[in-house]
Amino acid sequence: MRFTKKAALLPSILAGILGLIEPASAAINQQWNQDAAGLGDAQAGSAAAALDASTEFYNPAGLMYIKEQQVVAGTNLTMSTYDMSGETHYGNNSTLNEDGSGGTFAPGVFLHYAAPISDQWAFGFGVSSPFSTNTAWSDDSSAAGSATTTNMTTYDVSTDLAYAVTKKFSVGAGFDFVRVIVSDYDNVAQGNANYDTSLSGKQWNTGWHGGILYQLTDAARVGVAYHSKVDYEATGDASATDANGAVLNSTNNFVLSSTLPAYTTASVYYTINPKLALEGSVSYTQWDQAGEATYQNLPTDIGVTAETTQSYDLQNTWRTALGVHYSLTEELMLRGGFGYETSPYTDANEVYLGAPVGSSYDASAGLQYKHSKTLAFDLGWTHMFYLTQDVNTTNATSNSTTAGQFSGSNDVLGIQVRWDMV
C-alpha cells in the first residue's frame, strides 16, 4: 500500500495516544534500544539492517527498504540493580556509611511508521526516548551525598524523508522535536542545616539526524547514521523544605540548561544464506559536549541561587556490537548479540550517582514470530553488566564527599508488534 491521505492520519492518531503518557525513564543515560527487535541482537546492525520501520530512527536512509506502509509499536521494560558501598562525609562531621541500592523499574514506549511515497522517496515518523536516567538512592545510604532520586526523560518525536540516489545508494534525514522532562529530589546536609530540594521542569527542543546506506552486493550493505547534539532547557518549579516539610524557599522559574550529545553509528549487515545473517556496529558518542549543567533560580535553605554550574570532565565513548539472525522456519527467527561500551567518566572524581553510567558488556537474545503476511511479533532481552568502578566525588551544595565503589546491572525486556499495511 502506497502513502495515502487516509493512512497518513495513522501516525497522528498514535502520537496523540502516546502523548497522553509521560514515559518513565529508563535506567541509563543513552538508550540504544528504540525498538524491541534490536534488544535481541544488541543493536548490532542498527544503521544498516533496515528490517522494519524503526530504521526511521536508526538510519532514515533505510526507509527505502520498506516497500509497504508499516507500523512498529511496543514497550521496553527496564529493571536496574545499582549498588554503592562506601561512605559520605559531610562538613558538619556527620557520616553516612550504609550500603545503598539505587535500582528502579521503568517502562517505556516507542512507535515507528514508514511509508513509501514513490520508487525514489519515502517518509518516516517516530516517537522514542534516546536519553534518560532514573535512579533512587535512600537518604541514609552512602550514595546520598551525591544523589538520591533523579529522573530525566527525553521524548523524541521525529519526521524523516529518504531518497534513493541510485538503486544501491540511498540517503535520509529528519528533524527531531525533543521534549526534555526532568525531576529531582535530594536530601542535603550543609553545615548544620538539613533540608530537602525538589525540582521539576520540561521543555521542547530541536535537533536532527541523517544517514546513508549503500548496497555493496546482493548479500551485504553498509550504513552510517548521525544524530546531532541537542542543547536544551527545562523550566519549571523548585523548592527547598525542612525536615518537617515546611517550605523554606521556592520558585516557579527554575531552569536547567545542558546538552544531549551527538553520536555516530556505522554498521554492516551481511546475509550468508536465506536462513543466516550476521551484523556489526561501531558507535561513537561525543560526551564532551554534555559535561556541564547550569541551574538557574535553585532554592536552598538560605535563599534562591541566581545560577549554579555543575561540571564533569566527560570523555567520548565507543560502543561495539556483533549480532546474528537465524531463521528456524518461515514463521520463527532467533536473534542473539553481544556488545561492549566504554565509560564517559574519566576517573572516580567525575562519577555522578544520579546517572551512574560505566563501562558495560551486553548480552542479548530474542525472537520474531510471523503470525501472518501482515503481522509479526518480536520479543527481545538485553542484560548489561556494569564493571565495578571507584567513586570519590565532592558535592559543593551539600558540602560532602562520597567515596566507595559502584556496581550494577540492567535487564531490558521488550515486546513489539509490526503491522505491514499491504
pLDDT digits (tens, 9 = 90+) for 338-382: 999 998 888 777 777 777 777 899 999 999 999 999 999 999 999
pLDDT band at 168 (very low <50, low <70, confident <90, very high): very high
Phi, psi of 332 (to 5 degrees): -120, 125
User: 138 versus 217: which is more confidently predicted?
Assistant: 217
Is the separation of the CB atoms in 366 and 44 below 8 Å?
no
Q: pLDDT tens-digit profile of 48-63? A: 999 999 999 999 999 9
* C-alpha cell belonging to residue 223: 550504513
Query: What is the pLDDT at residue 106?
Result: 83
* C-alpha cell belonging to residue 2: 502506497
Q: Where are the domains of the chain?
A: 5-420
Interval 289-303 mean pLDDT? 85
SS3 10: helix
Phi, psi of 260 (to 5 degrees): -90, 130
Q: pLDDT tens-digit profile of 66-99? A: 999 999 999 999 998 888 888 888 776 777 777 7
Q: What is the DSSP string of 306-365?
A: EEEEEE--B--EEEEEEEEEEESSSSEEEEEEEEEE--SB-SGGG--TTS----EEEEEE
Residue in 391, 316, 387, 401 with CA at minimum distance from that of residue 348? 391
User: 7 versus 56: which is more confidently predicted?
Assistant: 56
Query: What is the pLDDT at residue 407?
Result: 85
Is pLDDT above 60 for 10? no
Q: Write down the mean pLDDT value for the chain.
A: 86
Q: Running DSSP on this structure, what letter comes out for residue 8?
A: H
Is pLDDT above 60 for 16? no
Query: What is the pLDDT at residue 113?
Result: 98
pLDDT band at 158 (very low <50, low <70, confident <90, very high): very high
Query: What is the pLDDT at residue 24?
Result: 32
Length of the chain: 422
Is pLDDT above 50 for 114? yes
Between CA 181 and CA 24 the distance in angstroms is 10
**% of the chain exceeding 70 in pLDDT:** 91
Only one residue has cell 572524581, namely 349
Q: pLDDT tens-digit profile of 23-32? A: 332 234 788 9
Interval 388-414 mean pLDDT? 83
Four-way CATH pick for 5-420: 3.40.50.300, 3.90.1170.30, 3.40.50.970, 2.40.160.60? 2.40.160.60
pLDDT band at 334 (very low <50, low <70, confident <90, very high): very high
pTM: 0.88
SS3 50: coil
